[in-house]
Structure 1
Amino acid sequence: MKPLGWFGIVRLGLVQSAIGAIVMLATSLLNRVMVVEYALPAALPAGLVAWHYAVQLSRPAWGHGSDRGRRRTPWIIMGMGILALGALLAVDALSLLAGRSAWGFALAVLAFAMIGGGVGAAGTSLLALLATRVAPERRAAAASITWIMMIAGIVLSAGIAGALIDPFSLSRLAIVAGGVAGVALLVAILAVWGVEGTAPAPPVPVRDAAPVPAFRDALRDMWADGDARRFTAFVFLSMLAYSMQDLILEPFAGLVFAFTPGQSTQLSGLQHAGVLAGMILVGIGGSAFGTRGAGSLRRWIVGGCLGSAVALGGLALAARAGPGWPLAANIVLLGFANGVFAVAAIGAMMGLAGEDRGREGIRMGVWGAAQAIAFGLGGLIGAVGVDVGRALIGSTTETFTIVFGAEALLFLAAASVALCGGVRATGQRFVARASA
């Protein structure tokens, strides 16, 4: 049976776009509205976002559920429905939160739990479907396409919502959020509908056709695989390093380089442009290697981690050098290297998950949970590290030097794990089986 073609991959990429569009409402738009328009403590939306990451620890359970049913589409649609409803409930909680009502806080916690659960169910099942249906030589390109489309969904929905929400009112926010969530849900349903049925998975060995074991047994079996265990460590370390600079990069530009809010926002745009360039390079380069692309992903991963470490080392030096440093070029390099390693890691993740037919979901779930923990901790550690460092050391430049240096060391540790076997066998056993 033929695996997914490029059109099918792009269709599934639309689901990622829809996920990104709805998550933007919760983690970006509502964050700003809570703090600025409703003068709520900044810790409130930060805590809710951290909570939605914590809920994503349920990813292995969602993935295992789709493994047992041997169908991913219903889980993707269900997850998107939960995600959309959670975003709308988060908007509904605003008026209660503005009145400092405990019911508003309870509703917001429920809403962000649904957002985290929806992302976990839809995102994990989508990645498992890609791991099952995409040919090994196309996995790097598939990872690039889906992640680029997710970013495109975030950018597009942010632009549309930003244009329609002014002049701000709660009723206008509800209408805009409902429109974005509704359209995203419809796009996701249309995108995934029929894809799984029209592109059957290749025949699998008889031993892989056995019933999927219970969740605890499946988790124990996966953890017994040394490659899967080392890859989990790699995902955690690399994503922890990747996310630590999320909340401190713009403050760094303002505190050390005296950038205005507009200038620091433009700097963030340059970083995302670099990320996209890195993703595109891996997508094109990974496909260019043909069936050997799965094995070549380790080189992209290690190169991206080393490049990220170099760029962060540059930022550590920039903290000491000050305004004379080529900050924009440094940020572009960081984004580019981040994009290279991140999308190569997703491609490798798909390859390693695809080696265990019928259990792709739980593997993707475990790695998704490791990523969610890293994202939740990374931003918090970076921000708290700057606050604590400035309080204890009394020097902003010294603090940023230490924090960026620590991030660089984490990327070097992630590269070391990859080189020592964290992604050594990714895709290789699969190719060996296919050619046997």
Structure 2
Amino acid sequence: MTMNNPVMSWFGIVRLGLVQTGLGAIVVLTTSTLNRVMVVELAMPAILPGALVAIHYALQVFRPAWGHGSDLGARRTPWIIGGMAVLATGGFLASVATAWMTTQPLFGIALAVAAFCLIGGGVGAAGTSLLVLLAKRTDDNRRAAAATVVWVMMIAGFIVTTAVAGHMLDPFSPLRLMVVSGCVSVAAMLLTIAGVWGFEGHAMTSVDQRARGTAQQSSFRAAFMEVWAEPRSRRFAIFVFVSMLAYSAQDLILEPFAGTVFGFTPGETTKLSGVQHAGTLIGMALVPSIGAVYPRSRGNLQIWTVGGCIASAIALLCLTAAAVVGQAWPLRETVFMLGVTNGAYAVAAIGSMMALVSASGEKREGVRMGLWGAAQAFAFGIGGFLGTLASDVARYLLSSSALSYSVVFGSEAGLFVVAALMAVSVHRAPARRVMPQGNLRAVAVGG
């Protein structure tokens, strides 16, 4: 951490967390509440909200380009505020589109597609620049704790929004839906402005000026290929994809698994998800808490990342056994353990992301963070789909629901083991591409 980029206080970290709170509030309303309204109140096919959420994830492929744009300006605040404005607009238009579907379904669906494109673009632009800013201003030993604070504040946004919006939406009407969504979007914008206003100042530091000069000398394609050529950045992107694929693949099958194999009612499966989320919060808090007691472990994010992946694999293997044993297995305790291990892995992985973003120098930080964010979003986008597809295929081939779930959970455990091995290779890789001396001139002129 250089003197040109002063270290943030805890108050500064919490301020940036306000942005994540606002982001989470809009996203949970559009991906959860509107999902339910479309399927239940409007009797639309479930594939419609599923496709809209997929559009939101597909737009994340442009995260490296948005990161490159913030590198060009060398200031992240305009991208954070601008991205949140796009997200807030998309969130409100999504509610308008849902209300419009009650009278003009085709026009409503068309508007919803445009709205979810805005949502995906806003999340990517604001989220990428926010993580770069957080990484640059956070001390090495605080990164795991900073990641915990920011992500817990995002989850708090989920919880508060669903609770308040759920209360305000009854009795349901399309107009009430638009009013609630509009209020959430305005609140998210206010939180974002409060979080970043004056944070970077108006004058660029000497480091920022050098980074801006470097970024302006090359196109996005050249910048992206430069980052992709860095062994550590490339390996970390692949690690993020594999581990997040394993992380997300169980999301859509856990509740059906509990209902099919263990006979849980819909209410009981919902409570089971709550048990998992509670475990995730505890796991997120575990990493910085142990770091406070044992300072030597505080900055060693590689050990926490590898350990989190291995522990998540063990928890998934326990679910594999649960599918075979059946109702005699302590399912709630196993799901809680899965939440704890996933939470510890997630915080360590995010902390590693923040630590590695400047590992190759004070340039291309937005492109690197965008690359890793795109890998994460792409994994989330296809993870749930592949999890359900694998479950259906295994059920068809094995003619047993329990065995099919066992195969899927076991496969996810295998992915986490692969991810753990990849996490080890990430830190062994050089930060920059090693080239013969004769090639340096060619690279310098863009060859």
Aligned partner of residue 153 in structure 1, secondary structure: helix
Partner of residue 102 from structure 1, selected from 106, 130, 152: 106
C-alpha distance in 2, partners of 1:167/1:31? 17
Aligned partner of residue 167 in structure 2, secondary structure: helix
2:186 counterpart of 1:182? yes
Could you state the TM-score of these two structures normalised by the residue count of structure 2? Answer: 0.91
What's 2:399 paired with? 394
2:106 counterpart of 1:64? no
What's 1:152 paired with? 156
Partner of residue 225 from structure 1, selected from 221, 230, 236: 230
AA matched with 2:369: M
Aligned partner of residue 71 in structure 1, secondary structure: coil
Deviation at 1:185, TM superposition (A): 1.1
Whether the 8 Å CA contact 2:80–2:126 is kept in 1: the answer is yes
C-alpha distance in 2, partners of 1:321/1:36? 35
What's 1:248 paired with? 253
What's 1:115 paired with? 119
Partner of residue 36 from structure 1, selected from 32, 36, 40: 40
What's 1:301 paired with? 305
2:372 counterpart of 1:367? yes
AA matched with 2:214: P
2:345 counterpart of 1:341? yes
Partner of residue 275 from structure 1, selected from 273, 277, 280: 280
Aligned partner of residue 214 in structure 2, secondary structure: coil
Whether the 8 Å CA contact 1:24–1:154 is kept in 2: the answer is yes
Deviation at 1:233, TM superposition (A): 0.8
Taking structure 1 as reference, are residues 290 and 92 closer, same or farther at Cα in structure 2, changes over 3 Å only? same
What's 2:436 paired with? none
More off after superposition, 20-29 vs 385-394: 385-394
Aligned partner of residue 366 in structure 1, secondary structure: helix
More off after superposition, 316-325 vs 281-290: 281-290
- Unaligned stretches of 5+ in structure 2? 432-447
Partner of residue 85 from structure 2, selected from 81, 86, 92: 81
Taking structure 1 as reference, are residues 207 and 112 closer, same or farther at Cα in structure 2, changes over 3 Å only? closer
Aligned partner of residue 151 in structure 2, secondary structure: helix
What's 1:418 paired with? 423
* Matched-pair identity in %: 55
Could you state the TM-score of these two structures normalised by the residue count of structure 1? Answer: 0.93
2:55 counterpart of 1:51? yes
Partner of residue 330 from structure 2, selected from 315, 321, 326: 326
Deviation at 1:103, TM superposition (A): 2.1
More off after superposition, 74-83 vs 355-364: 355-364
C-alpha distance in 1, partners of 2:136/2:147? 13
C-alpha distance in 2, partners of 1:200/1:140? 27
Aligned partner of residue 197 in structure 1, secondary structure: coil
C-alpha distance in 1, partners of 2:246/2:334? 17
What's 1:171 paired with? 175
C-alpha distance in 2, partners of 1:101/1:198? 47
C-alpha distance in 2, partners of 1:12/1:93? 31
Whether the 8 Å CA contact 1:136–1:291 is kept in 2: the answer is no
Taking structure 1 as reference, are residues 219 and 262 closer, same or farther at Cα in structure 2, changes over 3 Å only? same
Aligned partner of residue 38 in structure 2, secondary structure: helix
C-alpha distance in 1, partners of 2:92/2:209? 45
Taking structure 1 as reference, are residues 387 and 205 closer, same or farther at Cα in structure 2, changes over 3 Å only? closer
Deviation at 1:285, TM superposition (A): 3.3
Taking structure 1 as reference, are residues 283 and 197 closer, same or farther at Cα in structure 2, changes over 3 Å only? farther
Aligned partner of residue 392 in structure 1, secondary structure: helix
Taking structure 1 as reference, are residues 333 and 248 closer, same or farther at Cα in structure 2, changes over 3 Å only? same
Deviations 1:48-104 (A, max 9, x none): 101100011111111111111011001000000000110111111113333463322
AA matched with 1:211: T
Deviation at 1:209, TM superposition (A): 6.8
C-alpha distance in 2, partners of 1:197/1:135? 19
Whether the 8 Å CA contact 1:145–1:283 is kept in 2: the answer is no
Deviation at 1:150, TM superposition (A): 0.6
C-alpha distance in 2, partners of 1:275/1:200? 38
Taking structure 1 as reference, are residues 111 and 262 closer, same or farther at Cα in structure 2, changes over 3 Å only? same
Partner of residue 18 from structure 2, selected from 14, 18, 24: 14
Taking structure 1 as reference, are residues 350 and 179 closer, same or farther at Cα in structure 2, changes over 3 Å only? same
